[in-house]
Amino acid sequence: MIRFHLKELIADKEFAEKRRITIGEIAKDTGINRMTLSKIINHPGHSTVTDNIDKLCTYFDCSVEQLITHIKEVSDESEGSEGEK
């Protein structure tokens, strides 16, 4: 699963700029639909296009690795087989 760190980046930017940043402001500045931003923030594993990732990295002046991380999903089958080794 892909995990977005959008909430953390917003909090960091708010702290650095000493002001509140809204989803509406990010939508306006990036051209990303407000609903898309809301889904990225509130729905773990939400999928989005690479253009949005690029726009968010530009807006937050961050690398892709700071915006998203890959979380390895462990299935029940692989847990059992790993425990037997």
We report the CATH number of the domain holding residue 40 as 1.10.260.40
pLDDT confidence of residue 85: 41
pLDDT confidence of residue 64: 96
Residue 12, in any domain of the structure: yes
User: Contact at 8 Å (CB) between 52 and 36?
Assistant: yes
As beta bridge partners, residue 2 has 70
Domain holding 30, by residue range, is 2-70
Residue 75, in any domain of the structure: no
Structure pTM? 0.80
Residue 56, in any domain of the structure: yes
| Total number of domains in the chain | 1
Phi, psi (deg, nearest 5) at residue 75: -85, 165
Residue 19, in any domain of the structure: yes
pLDDT confidence of residue 53: 96
Per-residue confidence in pLDDT tens, the chain, 85 aa: 889 999 999 999 999 999 999 999 999 999 999 999 999 999 988 889 999 999 999 999 999 999 999 988 887 655 555 554 4
